[in-house]
């Protein structure tokens, strides 16, 4: 970091200010005709059928907006069954009178700077900026992608005092805490889902469908969810530091107060350092400390938007992003039905797909169907502690027929497994020809990444074909052909990277000969 630090412009505490998320525009959306707008919660819900999607550069913000607004419409609509949820979807829009009735009851709880009930913050700290700077932190901590203090593992750096957020930007960062809060050092624990899992979020043709598909009916909510449900707009406004909570309601989990926060608005004016927008009110500092958590040894909270792998007697583990692993390799785990054994318990090694996927599959029996179901998969890859390395944000499509077809699901799972097996075979062939010299390790890593990346489009075509029972035999043959073709391409490129000296050319010929022999043997096995 170089250069002289620039002192922030003079600001003064705001004595009385309000920014109510229910009525003020702060949610970035795209309309169905492609226009970018900012809307309040109320207007976003009332016009959701005319909107296409949320539109923030951060997928963490987009996922958090979907979870927050889905919680709100769930509290408004309260469907108790799949039939009731299907009825909401068939209406084609949310009931404006029900939205306004909810607003009449709870709108005051969405004020970002309320003196006693600030939204998603603690109400026992006043809105005046403390005199001691050491009692507060930069608002940069609200976004994991922003470099702050010693968290500078980024391609750019910024002084902590350079952060100044508009109220809208501060709100967008604040809502990411329930889903994506990680460990942050001694005494700072992650949110209710532990180390953040990969979230699988349904996507509809409109924002209305996206939110309605994200409503989770009681049968698909976590089994340990408390009936006494207290989401952020209906709970005690005080967040106690490091409090352990024994029971949690489902909607409460979507707004879980994992951090004890208090934003301090100041008179601007100035530009928001994240959005570049001009704002008369800026937020530079905040209280940002440990909030609530669940006691050690508590039963696992199984989020309906996450998949879980069962591990015998050990606690199930959510699927999380992994370094170098493309998302479609998890396709079978995310979208296959769990089959219990005779005892009714899930076998070790089996993955339970997200409950929202199971719910969507059953919605098809209630007259709700799409030719292709779309899911946006979002997560962050961490060191299982405080470090955040990258985010993952990919879309996966599932043909409607595949969700209720065990044979089609088996074919997809087999296709992924064959790709895994062939990847290992290619690596072994390269290793056999060139050995374990350190210079070849990075070459093999690049070879594998190219292999998985190039198979993404062929896999999508295979999935679409696998949903049609009349096309499956051809799809299986085409997939094996693609594995052999792509495998030879990446192996040849990896061999070429080793150089053109006589010895290397000889090893390259050896590797390609071994590969073609392996293809012949495997073709007989896989295409018999």
CA angle, residues 283, 289, 290, in degrees to nearest 5: 145
pLDDT confidence of 150, banded at 50, 70, 90?
Answer: low
Question: What residue segments make up the domains of the chain, in order of their start?
Answer: 406-528
Q: What is the mean pLDDT of residues 159-172?
A: 88
374 strand-pairing partners: 203, 397
pLDDT band at 345 (very low <50, low <70, confident <90, very high): low
pLDDT digits (tens, 9 = 90+) for 80-126: 999 999 999 999 999 999 999 999 999 999 999 999 999 999 999 98
Say if residue 310's pLDDT is above 60: yes
Nearest to 179 by CA among 237, 246, 258, 291: 258
User: 144: pLDDT confidence band, cut at 50, 70 and 90?
Assistant: confident
* Rounded percentage of the chain residues whose pLDDT exceeds 70: 92
Q: How confident is the model at residue 4 (pLDDT cuts 50, 70, 90)?
A: very low
pLDDT at residue 353 in the model: 93
Residues 163, 64, 385: CA angle, nearest 5 degrees = 70
The pLDDT assigned to 183 comes to: 87
444-448 average pLDDT score: 95
With vertex at residue 248, the alpha carbon angle to CA 65 and CA 228, rounded to the nearest 5 degrees, is 105
pLDDT at residue 203 is higher than 60: yes
- Top CATH class of 406-528 equals mainly alpha
Average pLDDT over residues 306-310: 93
Pairing of strands 351-352, 199-203: unpaired
Q: Is the pLDDT of residue 233 over 70?
A: yes
DSSP-derived secondary structure letter, 447: H
Has residue 2 got a pLDDT over 50? no
Q: Is the pTM of this model over 0.85?
A: yes
> What pLDDT does residue 351 have?
86
Q: What is the pLDDT of residue 158?
A: 56
Residue 359 pLDDT greater than 50, yes or no? yes
DSSP code of residue 134:
G
The most confident of the ranges 286-295, 348-357, 396-405 is 286-295
pLDDT confidence of residue 5: 43
Contacts of 102 (CB under 8 A, 6+ apart): 72, 75, 76
E-strand stretches of 97-164: 137-138
**pLDDT value at 9 more than 70:** no
pLDDT on residue 389: 87
Average confidence score pLDDT of the chain: 90
Confidence check: pLDDT of 14 > 80: no
- Confidence category of residue 135, pLDDT binned at 50, 70, 90: confident
Mean of pLDDT values over 152-159: 50
Residue 160: per-residue pLDDT: 63
3-state helix, strand and coil shares in percent for the chain, rounded to the nearest 5:
45, 20, 40
* pLDDT digit string, tens, across residues 403-443: 888 899 999 999 999 999 999 999 999 999 998 888 889 99
Distance CA 197, CA 333 (A): 14
30-44, 156-170, 323-337: which has the highest mean pLDDT?
A: 30-44
Contacts of 63 (CB under 8 A, 6+ apart): 179, 199, 201, 376, 378
Higher pLDDT, 313 or 185: 313
> Which of 156-160, 251-255, 325-329 shows the lowest per-residue confidence on average (mean pLDDT)?
156-160
What's the rounded Cα separation, in Å, for the pair 519 and 523?
6
Q: What percent of the chain has pLDDT over 90?
A: 78
State the pLDDT at residue 348. Answer: 53
User: Is residue 180 within 8 Å of residue 391, measured between CB atoms?
Assistant: no
Residue-wise over 338-375: b if at least 16 C-beta within 10 A, else e? eeeeeeeebeeebbbbbbbbbbbbbbbebebebeebbb
C-alpha pair distances (Å), 191 with each of 179, 199, 272: 7, 14, 27
Check the CA dihedral 46-51-52-53 and report its sign. negative
Cross-strand partners of 375: 202, 396
Residue 438: the pLDDT is 82
């Amino acid at each position: 970091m170089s250069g002289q630090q620039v002192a922030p412009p003079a600001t003064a505490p705001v004595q009385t200010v309000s920014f109510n998320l229910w009525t003020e525009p702060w949610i970035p959306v795209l309309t169905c005709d492609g226009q970018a707008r900012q809307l309040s919660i109320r207007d976003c819900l009332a016009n959701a059928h005319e909107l296409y999607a949320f539109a923030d550069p951060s997928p963490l913000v987009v996922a958090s907006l979907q979870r927050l607004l889905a919680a709100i419409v769930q509290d408004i609509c309260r469907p108790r069954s799949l039939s009731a949820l299907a009825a909401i979807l068939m209406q084609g829009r949310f009931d404006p009178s029900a939205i306004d009735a909810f607003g009449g009851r709870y709108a005051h709880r969405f004020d970002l700077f309320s003196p006693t009930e600030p939204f998603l913050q603690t109400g026992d700290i006043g809105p005046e900026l403390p005199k001691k700077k050491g009692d507060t932190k930069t608002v940069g901590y609200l976004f994991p992608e922003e470099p702050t203090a010693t968290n500078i593992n980024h391609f750019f750096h910024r002084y902590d005092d350079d952060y100044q957020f508009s109220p809208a930007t501060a709100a967008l960062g604040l809502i990411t805490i329930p889903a994506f809060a990680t460990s942050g050092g001694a005494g700072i624990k992650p949110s209710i889902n532990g180390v953040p899992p990969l979230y699988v979020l349904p996507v509809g043709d409109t924002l209305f469908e996206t939110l309605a598909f994200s409503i989770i009916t009681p049968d698909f909510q976590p089994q340990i969810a408390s009936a006494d449900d207290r989401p952020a707009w209906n709970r005690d406004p005080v967040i106690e530091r490091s409090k352990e909570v024994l029971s949690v309601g489902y909607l409460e989990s979507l707004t879980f107060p994992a951090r004890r926060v208090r934003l301090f608005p100041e008179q601007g004016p100035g530009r928001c350092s994240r959005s570049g927008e001009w704002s008369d009110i800026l937020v530079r500092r905040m209280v940002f400390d440990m909030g609530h958590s669940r006691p050690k040894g508590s039963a696992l909270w199984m989020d309906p938007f996450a998949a879980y792998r069962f591990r015998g007697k050990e606690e199930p583990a959510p699927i999380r992003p992994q370094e170098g692993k493309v998302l479609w390799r998890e396709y079978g785990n995310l979208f296959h039905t769990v089959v219990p054994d005779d005892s009714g318990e899930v076998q070790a090694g089996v993955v339970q797909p997200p409950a929202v996927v199971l719910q969507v599959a059953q919605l098809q029996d209630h007259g709700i169907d799409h030719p292709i179901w779309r899911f946006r998969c979002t997560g962050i890859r961490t060191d299982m502690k405080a470090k955040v390395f990258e985010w993952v944000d990919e879309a996966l499509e599932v043909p409607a027929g595949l969700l209720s077809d065990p044979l089609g699901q088996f074919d997809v799972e087999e296709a992924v497994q064959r790709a895994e097996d062939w990847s290992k075979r290619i690596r072994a062939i390269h290793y056999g020809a060139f050995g374990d010299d350190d210079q070849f390790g990075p070459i093999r890593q690049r070879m594998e990444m190219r292999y998985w990346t190039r198979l993404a489009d062929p896999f999508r075509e295979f999935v679409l074909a696998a949903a049609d029972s009349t096309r499956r035999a051809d799809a299986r043959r085409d997939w094996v052909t693609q594995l052999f073709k792509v495998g030879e391409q990446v192996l040849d490129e990896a061999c070429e990277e080793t150089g053109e000296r006589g010895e290397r050319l000889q090893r390259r010929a050896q590797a390609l000969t071994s590969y073609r022999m392996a293809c012949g043997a495997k073709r007989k096995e896989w295409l018999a």
